[in-house]
Amino acid sequence: MNRFGLGARPGEDPGGDPRAWLEQQLARYAIAPPPLAGQPASGTLVAQFADYREQIGRLRKAAGPSPAPASGTPLLSPKPAGAMAPLVAPPPVVQAGDDPAEALRKQFGQQSRDLYNGAVTARALAAIQAPAPFAERLVHFWANHFAISGDKMEVTNLAGAFEFEAIRPHLMGSFRDMLFAVERHPAMLLFLDQAVSVGPNSPLAVRAGNRLNVRRNLGLNENLAREIMELHTLGVRTGYSQADVTEFARALTGWTVAGFGRGPVAKFTGATGRPGDFVFADAMHEPGTRTILGQQWPQAGEAQATAVLDHLATHPATARHIATKLARHFAGDDPPPRLVARLGANFVKTGGNLPSLYRTLIASPECWAPGTVKFKSPWEWSISAMRAVGTQQLQPNAVPGLMYQLGQPVWKPGSPAGWDDVAGAWAGPDAVLRRVEAAERMAQRTRDQIDPRARAAAMFPAALSPATAQAIARAESNSQGVALMLVAPEFLRR
């Protein structure tokens, strides 16, 4: 329940065959569990952000001071036809005399924070309540493998939708299908600036001609190409070169997002459609044959990058990279070579069938080594702690605030590399002290209703050390005993 899952809940029992229990979870996995109901779709979010950006642009261009909206008039335009209900409570009233642009920025910023907090809370509740915690852990694994970071408002708004739309539906499919869903999702295209990548000899660049004020905003962006190769597929130091990255970036030009541009440039490029949809804008695409990894890719248009990505999805280096990361996550910071080889061979044999990889993990003896092999990340510890004390409901800002305090804000790793999956990133004295403080607050909310001795014995029936059991038994109150249980060595690791 700890090594593969998210920690035990009160009364949870895997039975006498833990491997069968894990296998059954693969069939019980829910793509859209109840806590995620009502989360807005990416199309709605893109439309709202594009509308906000257009209104800011109009306000900036307005000559002279602009009159403030009448009291009670919402700054944001009405939601598009067929869109979901408002993201949050009605926006605050803008008072006469307020600067319209500043008021709009504040209002939309608050909406973005509420949206982010709501998505994080929904994610946490899905994990706390999960009847298939092994599968839920895998969702978190893949979301970190294909990490985005909400450092820009538009990416923050889309972070939850990215996980719910690009990761969860493909958890029991193929690596190839998840890879394509991820790379075409608006969150990834915007995070890595792919949506504005323009080939230097593309029709759009040629049309711009010598108009420097236009051309300086047009250019090739290599971010997505580099991260696909380095992080998502092949891995570092696997034989590709900077020239391969540049050529792949040229092949990817034209991959963009509908709904952000509504003017003549969008019409010329063909980047029109339902907001948030992946679109291929031929006018942004760099023409010509590409040479990548020693192979020629003569395909035209969208088919070119698609063919390259297909090749990367099943490449032997990709198999090794994914195998290594899975082995590290489930069998220890130093992945056992035999487990890596076994997972890699399975990936190659099945073409990246994900359930087959999961079953290989379940069947591998390296994943069942006695003792604890991983130090929990702040997210893992928080979810396991809330499961342990029987948390059922969450305050809107509780989990986002806790994750900031513990140093792992959800969907904000600050880098496309995601969060580190080794103890060295999380086991420092200050980090552990913050967990102690969080455990004390969490335990206080149980109001002495939990017997920590019985709860600890039930959660760690064969792994509770005499020292830990004695410390919990000597606690001055049930709440203190619960806090001690949550920061015991057995609980900090899995």
**What pLDDT, on a 0 to 100 scale, did the predictor assign at position 462?**
78
Residue 443 and residue 479 in contact, taking contact as beta carbons nearer than 8 Å? yes
CA dihedral 79, 83, 84, 86 (to 10 degrees): -10
- Residue 400 token pair: 């986002």
d(C-alpha 490, C-alpha 247), whole Å: 49
Residue keyed to tokens 């005499």: 466
- The set of residues, in sequence order, having a beta carbon less than 8 Å from that of 266 and lying 6+ positions away, is 260, 272
Residue 183 and residue 431 in contact, taking contact as beta carbons nearer than 8 Å? no
Q: How many CB atoms lie within 10 A of CB 72?
A: 8
Give DSSP secondary structure letters for 174-229.
BHHHHHHHHHHSHHHHHHTTGGGB--TTSHHHHHHTT-HHHHTT-B---HHHHHII
Q: What is the pLDDT of residues 235-276, one digit of tens each?
A: 999 999 999 999 999 999 999 999 876 555 566 666 678 899
d(C-alpha 231, C-alpha 315), whole Å: 14
Residue 348 and residue 313 in contact, taking contact as beta carbons nearer than 8 Å? no
**What pLDDT, on a 0 to 100 scale, did the predictor assign at position 61?**
83
- The separation between CA 278 and the C-alpha centre of its own chain, rounded to angstroms, equals 18
Task: Round the average pLDDT of the chain to a whole number and report it.
Answer: 90
Q: Which helix (H) or strand (E) holds 292?
A: strand 290-292
d(C-alpha 2, C-alpha 427), whole Å: 18
Residue 414's region, left for phi above 0, alpha for psi from -120 to 50, else beta, is left
Phi, psi of 197 (to 5 degrees): -80, 125
d(C-alpha 318, C-alpha 314), whole Å: 7
Give Rg (Cα) of the chain.
25
* Residue 271: closest CA among 253, 288, 297: 253
Residue 378 and residue 408 in contact, taking contact as beta carbons nearer than 8 Å? yes
d(C-alpha 300, C-alpha 279), whole Å: 15
* Residue 122: closest CA among 173, 152, 163: 163
Number of helices and strands in the chain (H, E) = 23, 4
The percent helix, strand, coil of the chain (3-state, each to 5) is: 55, 5, 40
Question: Model pTM?
Answer: 0.91
- Residue 179 token pair: 């890879």
Residue-range domain boundaries for the chain: 190-331+334-373, 374-487
Q: Exposed/middle/buried for 131, CB within 10 Å: 0-12, 13-18, 19+? A: middle
- The set of residues, in sequence order, having a beta carbon less than 8 Å from that of 467 and lying 6+ positions away, is none
Q: What is the pLDDT of residues 116-164, one digit of tens each?
A: 999 999 999 999 999 999 999 999 999 999 999 999 999 999 999 999 9
Residue 375 β-bridge partners: 493
pLDDT along the chain (494 residues), means of 10: 91 86 96 97 94 88 53 33 34 58 91 96 98 98 98 94 99 99 98 96 84 63 99 97 99 93 62 87 96 98 99 99 99 98 99 99 96 94 97 94 98 98 97 98 93 92 90 96 97 95
